[in-house]
Structure 1
Amino acid sequence: MTPFTSSGTDVTDAALAAGVKPRRFGSLYILEHRLLAMRAYLQTIVMTSIGNPLVYLFALGVGLATLVDQAVPAGGGAAVGYLTFVAPALLATAAVMVATEESTYPFMMAFKWNPIAFAMNAAPISGNQIANGMILAILARILPTVGIYYLVMLLFGAVPLASGVVNILTASLTGIAVGVLIASYTSRIEEDKGQMAMIMRFGVTPMFLFSGTFFPLTDLPVYFWWIGWVSPLWHGTELGRVFSYGLEEPIWVTLLHVAYLAAITVVCWWITQRVVTRRLNK
């Protein structure tokens, strides 16, 4: 009995030791898994990260901007060119689009078509860690995208101020806020009934069009302003304009933009953790 007991103890100790790192760094393991999975569409990621800013900024800077024959007010009696005005909005939009891609099908797939989340949870990795790792993967996709986009903005001369580099952070905050907001919903979907298409059609697209992206929000009828006020993209766009060309606004408004985006991120991140954990524990 002694050798058997000793062997059993050794196996138990080895199993417990093997579970130490996953329990401690489980979120990073999930992040690594998602990054490796992204290699399947790496060419698409690279091409869109470079091609989209070139196409959009060229079309607006060389095309549409030539038709907009008046500068856009920047506050305090100052004005900026149309490309300078629209560039921070396009940067924030790029972050939102990437976040939407990574917070829709990947979350549903982890439970439905390729239920790998259950296999992950069978290891010493908690539901919270799985949710954290998948959200960190969204951020890992956003950061290089907005970084490349910002470099193209510099190439087109669309960032007058050195503080414009902060746009990388403001756009990333906007993207992750939208990403976790969507993930808090998609992580609970059990049957695909076209919800992903509806998110784009009735959520992301209207947000893109009515968030002061191509024209100031105040140019809309007053009864449409609320769309911008509740839109994370509007708050992120306004933040980008403050740092990009010095849009004049009270400091408390700038802080409100940051607080609003941060609140969405924290609350929806927590909700996503709870939803993922609950589904895994069924």
Structure 2
Amino acid sequence: MTATLDQPTAVATGVVVRPWRAVLLRVEGQWTWYRRHWTASLLSSGLQPVLFLAAMGIGFGSQVRPGPLTGGMPYLAYVAPTILVSGLITIAVAEAGLPVLSGFKWKQDYWAVASSPVTPGQLFTAELVWITLRLVLGSVLYLVVTTLVGGWTSAGALLVAPIAILTGAACATPVMAFAATTKGDGHAFAAVNRFVVMPMTLFAGTFFPVDRLPVVVRPLAWISPLWHGNELARGVALGGLRLWPAVGHLAVLVGLLVFGLVLGRRCFRRRLVV
């Protein structure tokens, strides 16, 4: 009993974790889980764009002849860049939705992390970095498979992956902010996929030019981040990308990324600091 009473009492050290050290600690924890359970998330780790390419680029594409619609290119080469962009957006939104809400509501590990020297803002940044790493993994797998089936026609295809990753990350940040403010069971994310992600995939220039749409609905495609990512990806892969349109597309994607980053850090702090 005396020995127990004589033990030193734990006191706060006052140590503050450096921002990127805190981010890396959280990412390390995510990686530790992922390397043990990666087979459970194989589809969301990169197979989804590959399967979509096989269905639309190779399967359906075999029935489409090169022509003015595809710029004289085989349909596989025409859709290969944009399928990667749309596929990474789907993965990013899925990873930024229910898994983030779970950190607050079901697993509640965010509360444990926020009780450590890691701040809510650093936690948000770490989750974004982890989602981005997942997108990198998926894009590398996609690039390899698409190369094997002859989907790339120029060295510009090497720039498709960074563009797709940027587009996916830009879409992930506002969804993460929304997840941080969600109090229910996450049914709203099904609506996001049904009424935002899926229409973007179908009508934002992934499979055919936007100018084939009715005039009244074209602005809806133009304001979507997927259209900007598609234009950049197809432009670098097939050629014909002009400077100022490219700058405009990049400005939209970077602006959305920064906006979501600022909003998400604020939403994480409001929910975790009580």
Q: Deviations over 1:5-62 (max 9, x none)?
A: xx97x965xx527x34466621211222222333464114445656445433333344
RMSD value over aligned CA atoms? 2.3
- Determine if contact 1:23/1:124 at 8 Å carries over to the other structure: no
Aligned position for 2:114: 121
* 2:154 equivalent to 1:166: no
Aligned position for 1:3: none
- The one-letter amino acid paired with 1:270 is V
- Determine if contact 1:22/1:124 at 8 Å carries over to the other structure: no
Gaps of at least 5 residues in structure 1 are 1-6
Summarize the Cα distance change of 1:23–1:278 in structure 2 as closer, same or farther, 3 Å threshold.
Answer: same
Q: 1:186 aligns with which of 172, 179, 189?
A: 179
Aligned position for 1:16: 13
Which structure 2 residues correspond to residues 82-231 of structure 1 after superposition, within 5 A? Answer: 82-192=75-185, 194-231=187-224
Alpha-carbon deviation of 1:110? 1.2
* 2:258 equivalent to 1:262: no
Aligned length in residues:
268
- The one-letter amino acid paired with 2:54 is F
Range with greater deviation from structure 2 (110-119 or 139-148):
110-119
- Determine if contact 1:174/1:236 at 8 Å carries over to the other structure: yes
2-side partners of 1:51 and 1:242: how far apart? 24
SS of aligned partner of 1:16: coil
Alpha-carbon deviation of 1:169? 0.3
- The one-letter amino acid paired with 2:251 is A
- Determine if contact 1:87/1:158 at 8 Å carries over to the other structure: yes
- Determine if contact 2:57/2:79 at 8 Å carries over to the other structure: no
- The one-letter amino acid paired with 2:102 is M
- Determine if contact 2:97/2:189 at 8 Å carries over to the other structure: yes
1-side partners of 2:43 and 2:172: how far apart? 21
Q: Deviations over 1:223-281 (max 9, x none)?
A: 111122111111111111111111x2432111111110000001101100000011112
- Determine if contact 2:104/2:111 at 8 Å carries over to the other structure: yes
TM normalised by structure 1 equals 0.87
SS of aligned partner of 1:213: coil
Summarize the Cα distance change of 1:40–1:198 in structure 2 as closer, same or farther, 3 Å threshold.
Answer: farther
Aligned position for 1:58: 54
SS of aligned partner of 1:80: coil
1-side partners of 2:17 and 2:82: how far apart? 41
TM normalised by structure 2 equals 0.89
Summarize the Cα distance change of 1:200–1:61 in structure 2 as closer, same or farther, 3 Å threshold.
Answer: closer
2-side partners of 1:72 and 1:231: how far apart? 25
- The one-letter amino acid paired with 1:109 is S
1-side partners of 2:48 and 2:272: how far apart? 38
- The one-letter amino acid paired with 1:60 is M
1-side partners of 2:104 and 2:245: how far apart? 40
1-side partners of 2:27 and 2:117: how far apart? 15
Summarize the Cα distance change of 1:36–1:182 in structure 2 as closer, same or farther, 3 Å threshold.
Answer: same
SS of aligned partner of 1:159: coil
- Displaced runs of 4 or more, over 6 A: none
SS of aligned partner of 2:13: helix
* 2:272 equivalent to 1:272: no
